[in-house]
Amino acid sequence: MKKKWWLVVILIVVLALGGGWFYFNRATPSAKEDQVQTPQYVEKKHVKLVALGDSLTHGQGDETNNGGYVGVIKKKIEHHYQQTTVTTVNYGVSGDRSDQILDRLNSQKQIRSDLADADVITMTVGGNDLMQHLEADALESPKKISTDVDSAESSYRKKLHALFSAVRKQNPDAPIFVMSIYNPFYTYFPDVTTISDAVAKWNQTTTSVMGDYQQMYFVDINHLMSYGQYKTAASRQHLVAAEKKANGGKVSQGKVADVMNEKDHNINDYISTDDNFHPNHRGYEQIAKKLFTAMKEHNSWEYTKR
């Protein structure tokens, strides 16, 4: 009787061990199976960046002739992602409004081809659209500025939709990073809010339109470039006091023209002394830094499945 009892115990142990081995090997996938089930992402060996836009994309004001932020961002990407080389294609044209950028896209096959092949797309747009409505006597009257901007906003919105749709038609997948516009005259007229308010409203329209498209990211450089090195509220308050003393809190077309025509000096360290309007190389470095922060946060452009 004892012999049979021991045989039963041995049989139970063997079955338990055998069943456990079978269950473990069925329930736990091998390393090879796990690799198959989980995609592995690696840095791309080559990234193509296509830049589309106006003078800020062209790099106007960059005294190094390095292509503005486009030249800087290439170096930043290659330094950070050391396995990657970057090709940039710059389709920035100074003075272009949103509708003119679209006209170039529609008329130039090479732009469409490069957009279709792009891993990432950057854009600057809107500054010339706004400036078109801030000329002549508009600067004399805050009410006139506000009225002009409000009436122009609907048209600008439609033009942006047409431009963004055209870009997305060529490339449905690549992330698109759009830079804001800024107020290049802020440091000279910090207490005059009409231009800054118009810039803010224009940027709001851009972000609103971008919300209708996938993988479009707004890079806000407004305060960065408008304030320049005056980063604290206290330093900007000193500017306001100086402006009130110099201009009486008022701005005119003539005063703006004087600022733009003054050579070899600008009280904003990020603005070119050539025209006191566009970024200098230091300004473009700041823009590229802001852009690259956004690109690292939304970095699908850099990785591919193994």
Rounded to whole angstroms, the Cα distance separating 87 from 301 reads 13
Rounded to whole angstroms, the Cα distance separating 87 from 137 reads 44
* Mean pLDDT of the 76-105 span: 96
Task: Provide the pLDDT for residue 192.
Answer: 80
Task: Provide the pLDDT for residue 264.
Answer: 67
* Mean pLDDT of the 96-121 span: 98
Task: Provide the pLDDT for residue 251.
Answer: 63
pLDDT band at 10 (very low <50, low <70, confident <90, very high): very low
* Mean pLDDT of the 117-136 span: 90
Residue 285 in tokens: 């470095």
Task: Provide the pLDDT for residue 270.
Answer: 97
Task: Provide the pLDDT for residue 248.
Answer: 65
b vs e for 262-284, b when ≥16 Cβ sit within 10 Å of the residue's Cβ? eeeebebebbbebbbbbbbbbbb
CB 225 within 8 A of CB 233: no
* CA distance readout (Å), 149 to 83, 153, 179: 46, 6, 20
User: Which among 13-22, 154-163, 183-192 has the top mean pLDDT?
Assistant: 154-163
Task: Provide the pLDDT for residue 16.
Answer: 45
Rounded to whole angstroms, the Cα distance separating 175 from 213 reads 10
* CA distance readout (Å), 72 to 44, 171, 228: 19, 24, 18
Give the largest CA-CA distance in the chain: 116
* Mean pLDDT of the 5-25 span: 46
With a cut of 90, say whether residue 89 has pLDDT above it. Answer: yes
With a cut of 50, say whether residue 166 has pLDDT above it. Answer: yes
Helix residue ranges, H only, 81-133? 98-107, 109-117, 127-131
User: Which among 23-37, 39-53, 235-249, 252-266 has the top mean pLDDT?
Assistant: 39-53
Rounded to whole angstroms, the Cα distance separating 243 from 255 reads 12
Which of the residue ranges 7-11, 137-141, 264-268 would you say has the lowest mean pLDDT?
7-11
Instruction: Name the residue among 205, 199, 57 with its Cα closest to residue 134.
Output: 199
Strands 176-179 and 120-124: parallel
Task: Kindly report, residue by residue over 259-292, the tens digit of the pLDDT.
Answer: 666 666 789 999 999 999 999 999 999 999 999 9
Mean pLDDT for all residues in the chain: 85
